[in-house]
Chains A and B, each alone.
Chain A
Amino acid sequence: MDTEQTVDDPARLREMADSDLLLLSVRDPEVFGVLYDRHIVAVLSFFQRRTASPQDSADLAAETFARAFQMRHKYVPTESAGIAWVLGIARNELRQAARSGRVRDRARVRLGMSRIELDDESFERIEELVDFAPLRLELEEALKAMSPKIAGALLLRIGLELPYEEVARRLGCSRGTARARVSRGLTALADTLEGAR
Chain B
Amino acid sequence: MIPFVDQLRRELMTGIRAASVESSKQKLSKGGDQIMARTLQTMRPSRKRRTGILAAAAVAVVVILAVAVWPTDDPTETPLTRAGADAQPSVETWGALSPGAGADEVEYYEGLQEMTSGASLTVVGVVESVEPGRFVGEGDSSQYLVATLRVDSVLAGSGAQEGDSVSLEFGPMQPNTVEDDGWDPIVNDEGLFFLRLKGDGTPEFGTEDVESEMALGVYRVVSSQGLFLNDAGSAAPVLYAEPEGFPLEISGDPFESVVEHVSSFDD
Nearest chain A CB to B125's CB is how many angstroms away?
11
The answer to the question of B139 belonging to the interface, with a C-beta cut-off of 8 Å to chain A, is no
Contact A41 B5 (CB under 8 A): yes
Does A80 reach chain B (CB closer than 8 Å)? no
Kindly state whether residue B152 has any CB partner on chain A within 8 Å. Answer: yes
Question: Does A69 make an interface contact (CB < 8 A)?
Answer: yes
Known: A62-B8, A92-B256. A30 touches B232 (CB 8 A): no
Question: If the complex has contacts A41-B5, A100-B152, are A67 and B233 also in contact, measured as CB distance less than 8 A?
Answer: yes
Which B residues touch A109, using CB under 8 A?
188
Q: Does B18 reach chain A (CB closer than 8 Å)?
A: yes
Q: Which of A32-40, A136-144, A147-155, A160-168 contacts B (4 or more CB under 8 A)?
A: A32-40
Classify the interface of chain B: helix, strand, loop or mixed.
helix
Tell me, yes or no, whether B206 is within 8 Å of chain A by CB: no
A residues 100-116 touching B (CB-CB < 8 Å)? 100, 104, 106-114, 116
A126: interface (CB < 8 Å): yes
A17 sits at the interface (CB 8 A): no
| Chain B interface size range | 20 to 34
Residues in chain A near residue B8, CB distance under 8 A: 40, 58, 61-62, 65, 116
The reply on A170 being an interface residue by CB < 8 A is no
Chain B 1-45 near chain A by CB (<8 Å), digits 1 or 0: 011110111011111111110000000000000000000000000
Residue contact B14 to A70, C-beta cutoff 8 Å? no
Q: Mark A60-80, 1 if CB is under 8 A from B, else 0.
A: 011001110111001000000
Write out, one digit per residue, whether chain B residues 73-97 have a CB within 8 A of any chain A CB (1) or not (0).
Answer: 0000000000000000000000000
Taking CB atoms and an 8 Å cut-off, the chain A residues in 10-38 that contact chain B are 29-30, 32-33, 36-37
Distance to closest chain A CB from B220 (angstroms)? 24
- Indicate whether B104 reaches chain A with its CB closer than 8 angstroms: no
**Cα-based distance from A9 to B103 in the complex (angstroms):** 56
**Is A121 at the interface (CB under 8 A from chain B)?**
yes
Contact A92 B12 (CB under 8 A): no
- Chain B residue contacts of A92, Cβ below 8 A: 233, 254, 256-257
A197 beta carbon closer than 8 Å to chain B: no
A126 near B254 (CB under 8 angstroms)?
no
Q: What's the nearest-Cβ distance from chain B to residue A58, in Å?
A: 6
Contacts of A113 in B (CB 8 A): 11-12, 14-15
A111 touches B2 (CB 8 A): no
Contact of A106 among B14, B16, B162, B230 (CB under 8 A): B230
CA distance in complex: A107, B230 (Å): 10
Q: A29-B20, A106-B230 are in contact. Are A66 and B12 (CB under 8 A)?
A: yes
Contact with B along A177-188 (1 / 0, CB 8 A): 000000000000
Q: Name A residues whose Cβ lies closer than 8 Å to a Cβ of B.
A: 29-30, 32-33, 36-37, 40-41, 44, 58, 61-62, 65-67, 69-71, 74, 89, 92, 95-96, 99-100, 104, 106-114, 116, 118-119, 121-122, 125-126
* Extra inter-chain contacts (17) besides given A41-B5, A104-B190, CB under 8 Å: A32-B12, A44-B5, A58-B4, A71-B232, A71-B233, A89-B233, A95-B260, A99-B153, A100-B152, A100-B162, A107-B233, A111-B12, A112-B14, A112-B19, A113-B12, A116-B8, A125-B2
